[in-house]
Amino acid sequence: MRVIFMGTPEIAVPTLSEIIGRGHDVVAVYSQPPRPAGRGKKERKSPVHELAEGFGLEVRTPLNFKNEADIEAFEALDADVAVVVAYGLLLPKRILEAPAKGCLNLHGSLLPRWRGAAPIQRAIMAGDTQTGLMVMQMDEGLDTGAVGLIDEIPISENMTAGELHDQMMIRGADLMGRALPALERESLHFVPQSTEGVTYAKKIDKAEARIDWSRSAQDIHNQIRGLSPFPGAWFEIELNGKPTRVKAIKSALAEGTGAAGTILDAGLTVATGHGAIALTHVQREGKSVMDAETFVRGTGSLEGKVLS
């Protein structure tokens, strides 16, 4: 089929590779414009942009679709379908209706739960034990379209957002790879979403990243997992007489009691408002991720210190 691909971050890359590998004619790739990144703040192309150029595909990077010329250029591609994976722009009606078979979106949740921008993080932060991927026919709503294919994914008790993200990258590519030939054969049947159980996965706010040790160990564990590796749940600890910010990258529920925020042993087991949590991997500002033993070896005994 003639396919327009629309995506930006790393999670969308395997799906584009899969579509190319299956022999579809990718007539254009749309991605977010290059943006300043890194220490030098040089403009950097998105992962999808770089892959597409490597395959010699045309890449378009409109800021939005408010410009009539951009809409007409999209319509002129005469595509059979547009595939959208974490593109980052809301698509107006004319864009949604331009391809002959519409626009398919790969979404990382079991809709209607976790519509919106951060379904992977929100599912883990909420303590969900299951999520999934869905191929959805896009409409003008926010992730409200009818669903064609589903792949359910269990969330284990210590799984991080990064680990779930990496699973979804691979499994999502396979799911969309199976959806396109079914769409071409007209055997992909779409079922409307339920009107019950709707939740929204709003973007992660920086204020959510600081750990409140008065919360339960389970809640904190979910927060750490859901924000790992980025942006990273964090706390402050006094080291060498000054407060130092540390990110908690991995954790596990543990035994112990004490005042909330107090380190209970020679490792990094911390008392919470209910229960205790072991910080198994952490990252100091400007340092690499390290396990708890390595961290404590570099600081000396921390038992009895209070985290904030």
Known binding-site residue numbers for (6S)-5,6,7,8-tetrahydrofolate? 109-112
* DSSP secondary structure of 120-135: HHHHHHTT-SEEEEEE
Task: Extract the tokens encoding 255.
Answer: 């035994």
How many Cα neighbours within 13 Å face the side chain of 85? Answer: 32
In 3D space, the residue among 48, 44, 92 whose CA is nearest the CA of residue 66 turns out to be: 92
| Residue list, annotated binding site | 109-112
Q: Within a 10 A sphere around the Cβ of 299, how many other Cβ atoms?
A: 15
- The number of beta carbons lying within 10 Å of the beta carbon of residue 242 is 7
Distances (CA, A) of 297 to 62, 239, 269: 50, 13, 15
Rounded Cα distance, 193 and 111, in Å: 7
How far apart CA 306 and CA 283 sit, in angstroms, is 18
